[in-house]
Structure formats: C-alpha cells, structure tokens
Amino acid sequence: MIADFDVLAESIGLPLKSIEALRALPESGETDAGIYFLWLGDAMQYIGKSRQIANRIAQHGQAALYGFAKPIDFDRHTCIAVFSERVVRDVPALNRALTKLERAYVNHYRPKYNMLYTGRKGMTACS
C-alpha cells in the first residue's frame, strides 16, 4: 500500500508498472482505495478505480444483478492500493488522482472491456 498521497500524485508522471508486475500485485483489502485489474488467466480484462475496491470487485462478479450489458469474465484481481478510504479526507482530490492513473493504465494496456480515453470526454472501445 502506498503510504503517502503525494507518492500517488507523483506516480502519475512515472513509468507504469509492467504487465508482469501488475500480475504479481496483491488483491485488495476490505476498504482499500486505488486502481484494480481484473484477469482471466494471464490476460488483463479490465482496469478500474474505486474508493472501496473489494466492494467494486463484488459488483463485477454479480454483473447481471447490476444490469451491466457486458459482464466481464475474470477469475482473479490485483490492485494498486493507495489508501484506506477511512483515512482519506480529500475525496475529490483522491478521485482526480485515481482517474488520471486509471486513464494512463487503460490507454497503455487497452484491456478488452475498457474504453480508451481519447481526450476531453472522448472515449472509444479498446478492442
């Protein structure tokens, strides 16, 4: 878990983790906030962000109940945990930082179920 919010902000400008490093990351704790990666075998399926990763992963696992048009096939997840939501005081700043980091990973790895960020409010399918 990254212990300092400034480290997250700085990490947006740094090189992204390799696919091997992402596969080796741990799963999330119950209240972790950060970026998560859904995998089917060794294939990255989806990248997301959440202030409560474990709850969001559970929603993906029950996609039909939540009315998602395209359920995501995955058998495990990993995450870059930033903070426990309980200690985050500036939620809007956390959301902005996580969005930037999520976009950088999506645009770089182009997972099957993500949309590619193409500029201000512009999105297109990755695959």
Q: One digit per residue, pLDDT tens: the chain, 127 residues?
A: 344 444 554 555 557 889 999 999 988 777 678 899 999 999 999 999 988 888 888 888 777 666 666 678 899 999 987 766 555 566 777 778 788 888 889 988 999 988 766 555 545 555 5
Report the CATH number at residue 85: 3.40.1440.10
Task: Tell me the residue range of the domain where 49 lies.
Answer: 5-125
Total domains, the chain = 1
For the chain, what is the largest distance between any 2 Cα atoms, rounded to a whole number of angstroms? 38
Q: Read off the tokens for 83.
A: 């903070």
pTM score over 0.85: no
- Quick one: how far is CA 74 from the chain centroid? 14
